[in-house]
Amino acid sequence: MRLSKLFILVMCCALVPGAVFAQKKDKSNPAVPETAQVTPYSNVRRDNLLNGLQIITLDRQSDAVVKCDLVIRGGAMFDLAGKPGLAALTLESLMIVNPRAKEELESLSAKVDWGVTPDTTWLHLEAPTNSFGPAMEIVARLLVVENVRPDAFKAALDAQIAKAKSAKPTVAEQADAAFLKAVYGNHPYGNSTLGTEKTLGEIKQGDVYDFFRRFYIANNASAVVVGNISHDRVMQVFKLLFGGWVKGQIVPATFRQPLQTSQLRVVKVELPEVTNVELRGGLIGVKHSDPDFLITEVIARIVSNRLRNESGATNWSVKSAQRILAGPFYYSASVAADKAPELSRRASEAFTSLVGATVSANELAEAKSALANDVAARPIEQNLRNIEMYLLPRNLPVEIGKKIEAISAADVQRVAKRLLDANALTVVVVGKVNEAFNSGNSGKTGL
């Protein structure tokens, strides 16, 4: 009986050649992992402090200076209702505590700039390697410590109101603002980032203090440091200066969606004193982290190419704006009043025609090539910053070329339909509207 069992075992091994030996070979000689592809991002390192502050570094010895982008994911979209300008005023209230900050940084051969977008609050610092630590200390003293002081708040408020009073927006800026308000309505993306004299006057010191407490927290921020400085040195600086920055509950960007527009809408703003008419037309697109965002960028280039040689148009562009939430997707142009109706009609048709007609192979290839070139030209630090700002996949800069190449004509048609099913186009006309869009022209253009 034992001999029979042994015979069966031997036969089984014979039927599976090398099975037992292969197992032994795998254990003693494990497979050598494939060498990772070397890219401009291969030396990027990511780390975090115990308080949750994300730190991304790229040691690039060839750089003359160290660049640091500190990004807080709390921008103008979180302004209180009726108080646009709160995020900007909060940042100015902090920075004005040390009115000599820029001078102190200049003494270190360093410089700093700051600002607020709809999505984020940001600071950009540049300094020589040997001055990076002292320069960051000046910045940290303004952000990490609770510096919402009555005198600083009053000084910042007066400065922001004076800026709002003296502001003289260009016709193009007025058209941009009118378009965003028309498309987004009461949604935060429809408001002014800096606020107005009226809305700033409604803001109290307690509002600024509350904004600071809710959004200026370590685990709601990231730092991207690129230059001739080691990762370990950067970590030493941040542990010392930002290790005490408090962490807290991150406030999610949960807002009611803007109302849908079911049919073409035209908003006219009469400015009879201007020479040209400013046109804006578009709808709400997709957020930057949406898988379809790259396709909207291809669509933008297709539409732009179709209207590239439009007679009389200047400052022509088509944009799919990068936003944490669904951003605007629109065209803009400056054109003579008598050319405005026809250009508006053609631009609207360029958008809507993508739903029902297949894009040619040459047209698609040209748009994809243009996008690939634009992406390749973006600085590494900008891509690293965008990853943190919009919570994008970390391997996106390396994989984006393949993603662009994979976009098909069917993808373009699908996304165009997705956008136009969600909202019809909104067209904003600023300038000599009555002259351009009189009753005779309106009938011809469908506007």
How is 215-239 classified by DSSP, letter by letter? H--GGGEEEEEEESS-HHHHHHHHH
SS3 170: coil
Indicate whether 357 pLDDT > 70. yes
Query: Residue 324: exposed, middle, or buried by beta-carbon count in 10 A (0-12, 13-18, 19+)?
Result: buried
Do 44-242 and 265-387+408-445 come out as alike in CATH topology?
yes
Binned at pLDDT 50, 70 and 90, residue 438 comes out as low
pLDDT digits (tens, 9 = 90+) for 396-413: 999 999 999 999 999 999
Query: Which two tokens mark 86?
Result: 């709160």
| 299-335 pLDDT, tens digit each | 999 999 888 766 567 788 999 999 999 999 999 999 8
Residue 88: what pLDDT?
98
pLDDT for res 260: 83
**How high is the pLDDT of residue 23?**
43
Per-residue pLDDT at 3 exceeds 90: no
CATH fold for domain 265-387+408-445: Cytochrome Bc1 Complex; Chain A, domain 1 (3.30.830)
- Give this prediction's pTM: 0.86
162-185 mean pLDDT? 94
- State what percent of residues in the chain have pLDDT above 90: 72
Cα–Cα dist 211/204, whole Å: 11
The per-residue pLDDT for range 176-224, each reduced to its tens digit, is 999 999 999 999 999 999 999 999 999 999 999 999 999 999 999 999 9
Give per-residue pLDDT as tens, 242-292.
999 999 999 998 888 888 888 889 999 999 888 889 999 999 999 999 999
Q: Is the pLDDT of residue 4 over 50?
A: no
Q: Most distant CA pair in the chain: distance in Å?
A: 109
Q: Burial letters for 108-140: b for 16+ Cβ neighbours within 10 Å, e otherwise?
A: bebebebebbbbbbbbbbbbbbebbbebbebbb
Average pLDDT, rounded, for the chain = 88
| Strands 66-72, 221-227: pairing kind | antiparallel
Q: Which token pair is 263? A: 């049919």
Q: Distance (Å, rounded) from C-alpha 302 to C-alpha 295?
A: 11
> Which residue type is seen at 105?
L
Q: Which two tokens stand for residue 214?
A: 């809710």
Q: What is the pLDDT of residue 19?
A: 41
Q: Give pLDDT, residue 34.
A: 61
44-242: what fold?
Cytochrome Bc1 Complex; Chain A, domain 1 (3.30.830)
- Residue 117 is encoded by which pair of tokens? 């977008």
Phi-psi region of 237 (alpha: psi -120 to 50; beta: other; left: phi over 0): alpha
Rounded Cα distance between 192 and 160, Å, is 13
> Do 72 and 223 meet the contact criterion of CB atoms below 8 Å apart?
no
Q: Alpha-carbon torsion 247, 79, 206, 135, what sign?
A: positive
Residue 20 confidence (pLDDT) above 70: no
Predicted local distance difference test score (pLDDT) of residue 10: 38
Q: What pLDDT sits at residue 30?
A: 62
Q: What are 395's two structure tokens?
A: 């391997």
Whole-number pLDDT of residue 17: 45
pLDDT at 356: 83
Q: Read off the pLDDT of each residue in 408-421 and give the average, rounded to a whole number.
A: 94
pLDDT of residue 226: 97
> How large is the average pLDDT for residues 343-353?
89
- Asked whether 252 and 391 are in contact (CB, 8 A), the reply is no
Euclidean distance between CA atoms 314 and 312, whole angstroms:
7
Q: What pLDDT score does 22 carry?
A: 42
What is the pLDDT at residue 312? 63
Domain positions in the chain are 44-242, 265-387+408-445
- Coil, strand or helix at 254: coil
- Which span out of 3-12, 138-147, 196-205 was modeled with the highest average pLDDT? 196-205
Q: Of 338 and 34, which is predicted with more confidence?
A: 338
Over 60: is that where the pLDDT of 6 sits? Answer: no
pLDDT digits 0-9 by tens, 34-65:
666 788 899 999 999 999 999 999 999 999 99
> Could you tell me which residues come within 8 angstroms of residue 105 by beta carbon, excluding any fewer than 6 positions away?
111, 112, 125, 127, 135, 138
CB burial of 256-294 (b: ≥16 within 10 Å; e: otherwise) equals eebeebeeebbbebeeeebebbbbbbbbbbbbbeeebbb
